[in-house]
Chain A
Amino acid sequence: MQLKYSYFPGCKISGQRTDYGASTQTLMTLLGIEWVDLQFNCCGYPIRHQSLEASVFSAARNMAISEHAHLDIMTPCKCCFGNLKHSQHMLKNDSALFKRVNERLKEEGLTYSGSIEIKHILNVLYHDVGLDIIKTRILHPYPSTTHVAASYGCHALRPSEVTNFDHPFDPTIFENVISVSGAQTVFWPKRTECCGQPVFEKNPSLSNIMLQSKISDAIEAGADIICTACTYCQMQYDSLGQDQLTVMTISQLLKKAISGN
């Protein structure tokens, strides 16, 4: 079966971190995943503090556009993923909201019905492509002496009844995907905790404390690399953590194991 998705990079990738986007696209090409670029807008995550209504509408518009193209959405950002899932959940359970959103969408000739799935890149790699297939493509595996700490990212994991991503307290999907690359994964207690990015602007020193406690936890567990699967997490580690140990996205990690660079 040909895998095909609409690719949802998210604002941070298209605006500032184009390198993360490029590695995601390269990985998709290497794995034979097809994708299309649609005229997406913001996922609605940043505005959710200010207006839930605007956040849900923003997410719904993206989903309506992808519905129109009959494609599931695939995103490399867990905050985008989490907000799209959350909005999907809200729209399913609040009929008045569903009606208001569709009235607004109608102004552009769009409709939202909820017929497509929202997938994070880890979902796609694990469930749709399959680890066995990825394994056959790994030509430059990491030595088993490389220890990788998977940094889960909050908004994909929780609230679990909304995101349905993995077990909220004992997730395994990220470690399983990393293992394919030949590297060892380590268990670290803070792997499912917040990286501190959401408070980076509001309270930088608090944000830094949160990040440092994660990094020292990963180092204590013996990690050489922290692996992320979220643009915001990666930005947070990049801003403060890169001199203590290497931090890379899952697409950068796998791309290297497949193509050697």
Chain B
Amino acid sequence: MLKYSFYISFAIFIAGLIFRLVQWIRFDLDKESAEQSKVKRTFALWESLWNHLVSAQVLLMLKAFFWDGLLQVRVLKSSPLRWLTHMSIFWGFILLLLFHALDDFISVWLLPEYASTMNPYMFLRNLCGVLVLTGIFAALYRRRKKRIVKHISNWMDYSVLGLIAAIIISGFLVESLQIISEKQFDSMVTDYMITDDESEILALRAYWAKYYSVVFEQTVDTSNTILIKTGHSVNEDSCASCHSRPQYAFVSFNLIQFFAPFATVLNALHMDTILLIVHYMLCFIGLAWLPFSKMFHMISTPLNYCMAASSQESKHLAATANGKIVSLDACTHCGVCSEHCSVAPIHQVIGNDCILPSEKIGVVLSMAAGRHPIVLENLFSGNAVCTECNQCTQNCPSGIPLLDIWQGAKRELQNKGMYLPQDLIKSHSAYEWSEIWKSQKLATLPGQSFISDDPQTYEACVQCSVCTQVCPIVAAASNSGDPIDVTPQQIMNLLRIGLKDKALGTQMVWTCATCYMCQENCPQHIPVADVFYELRNLAHAQINFKQTGEL
């Protein structure tokens, strides 16, 4: 059964790899990518894989692979603690995979007198397991403790950590149950004992009960020194060449004390065999799931490093198109970008997850896949908040050119017919906007108090028009031959007579340069520019309130 399970999971793994490779060709991040023919892109991907994995630029690639892939220097630069966490999980798991899971193919050939039941291999295997579990614990702690990382962590992040932890824990349990198992002892005796002298076997039982922690159903006399002595010599002849004492497997050995009281029941239930199957199955699930989960970054992230380090992808358009999708796939959802994001506090107030780079990237990928969900509107408005400070790119441990992606996505979504509020507002006159908004519920800005609603704000206005005379927008607009629709002084008047809805969509309010000339020069100290800010806040809420598609 195990064999077939392995074949099935391996087949799914290979199918998944092909599926992801095809996505690299199939998805178009932008118009330029879409213009490249799929045939060209297939060849380009083949060429990239060939170049990066096999030939020409092999030295450059090796450097990127060792430095960024194996030593993960970029993670170290971004945070030493996170590097330690990731290195523990990565190296602990890789070593277990190579020397434990694949021991028949690797350890047996590489290591002198290798046997999985010999020291130092028992110790090293336990050490690797502890490393992985410590790393997982640290990663979980980080995901629960840091505000932004906690917010973005999703079921994928937790279930991958959970699966790896489950593989390691089940491994420890299998080992400790095998140590105490009488059945294991009996089958080994049948297979490897040279004699079948009952008294020698009895002596060996006593010796193994005492020094190898096997728990026998029938109590064995371990205080009989003669018996133990005989057991010792039998052990030396038949067992010791392949079996070290179990305490070297320091985790599994210490787990025994929890199982010892129920040992006979566990042995009778074949618990060690059941757990071994569970252990195998979890590994197979991991293998099959790898290409579909975030674990795929084990392949995509090093490839992204290599592609970024080579000149190939920047020269060749089809390869560039593939490279963009590979770079999206290189995301490990670690959340470092969002931790460094300059506008993350704005997300805390406004609440659109598409403000955070770690969340935007997934939506950009679904945009590249050609899906056009409502979430793209969130992406567009969240992306509009970005100040292009480039912190995300500079801190990304996977080396993804994030800022380029955001700028590209902005253009793409505009090509798809989405408008920023400042552009959308130009599609109607202020009067038309007031008619449109009349029929809908008014958006509210909870908590904010409004000076524009307070009659005292404009009470002192004498319509002297100083605000209009000093306004550089009014002056520039009349110089351009396209005078502004309503002047600042007229807006003050609209508000004064209670026609706030007619002011919200005016070009004056939306083109305001916020230079505060009006406010500074007003002889009556009316906060003209502050009122304009407030009107834009309200109009923004009103525009975002109604989905753009409905206009």
Contact = CB atoms under 8 A, between A and B. Distances in A.
A199 B516 CA distance: 14
B343 A52 contact: no
A158 B517 contact: yes
B380 to A, nearest CB: 13
A51 B516 contact: no
Given A42-B346, A52-B534, A57-B348, A96 B515 contact: no
Interface string A75-92: 000000000000000000
Contact of A202 (B341, B388, B510): B510
Contact of A194 (B341, B403, B421, B515): B515
B410 to A, nearest CB: 11
A39 to B, nearest CB: 8
B536 interface: yes
Interface string A49-63: 111111001100100
A104 B345 CA distance: 9
Nearest to B534: A52
Nearest to A108: B147
B84 interface: no
Given A15-B388, A193-B515, A100 B346 contact: no
Interface stretch (B75-83, B315-323, B445-453): B445-453
B445 A213 contact: no
A51 B346 contact: yes
Interface string A31-49: 0000000011110101111
Interface string A170-212: 0000000000000000000000011010110111011001100
B478 to A, nearest CB: 10
Given A51-B445, A194-B472, A61 B345 contact: yes
Given A159-B520, A168-B520, A206-B476, A41 B513 contact: no
A243 interface: no
Interface string B328-353: 00000000000011111110111000
Nearest to A197: B513
A53 B447 contact: yes
Interface in B344-373: 344-346, 348-350
B242 interface: no
Interface string A116-127: 000000000000
Contacts of B348: 57, 104, 107
Contacts of B473: 199, 206, 210
Contact of A158 (B445, B448, B516): B516
A158 B350 CA distance: 28
Contacts of B527: 159
Interface in B379-400: 385, 387-391
Contacts of B343: 41-42, 47, 58
Interface size class, chain A:
35 or more
A53 B389 contact: no
A45 B112 CA distance: 66
Contacts of B391: 14-15
Contacts of B421: 50
Given A58-B343, A199-B513, A210-B476, A158 B540 contact: no
Contacts of A107: 147, 348
A160 interface: yes
A107 B147 CA distance: 7
B511 interface: yes
Nearest to B388: A15
Contacts of A220: none
A94 interface: yes
A54 B349 contact: yes
B181 interface: no
B33 interface: no
A42 B345 contact: yes
Contacts of B349: 51, 53-54, 57-58, 104
Contacts of A96: 447, 449
Contact of B513 (A11, A12, A160, A196): A196
Given A194-B472, A199-B473, A15 B515 contact: no
A194 B513 contact: yes
A221 B306 CA distance: 56
A261 interface: no
A209 B513 contact: no
A169 B447 CA distance: 35
B537 interface: yes
A155 interface: yes
A154 B512 CA distance: 13
Nearest to A99: B447
A233 to B, nearest CB: 11
A64 to B, nearest CB: 10
A158 B471 CA distance: 13
A46 B520 contact: no
A9 to B, nearest CB: 9
Contacts of B472: 193-194, 196, 210
Contacts of B390: 14-16
A100 B447 contact: yes
B307 to A, nearest CB: 24
A73 to B, nearest CB: 15
B447 A11 contact: no
B422 interface: yes
Nearest to A101: B349
Interface of A: 11-12, 14-16, 39-42, 44, 46-54, 57-58, 61, 94, 96-97, 100, 104, 107-108, 154-155, 157-160, 168-169, 193-194, 196, 198-199, 201-203, 205-206, 209-210, 213
Given A11-B342, A47-B385, 5 more contacts: A49-B537, A61-B345, A107-B147, A155-B514, A193-B472
13 contacts: A42-B342, A52-B534, A96-B449, A100-B447, A104-B349, A107-B147, A160-B520, A194-B515, A196-B476, A199-B473, A206-B473, A206-B480, A209-B476
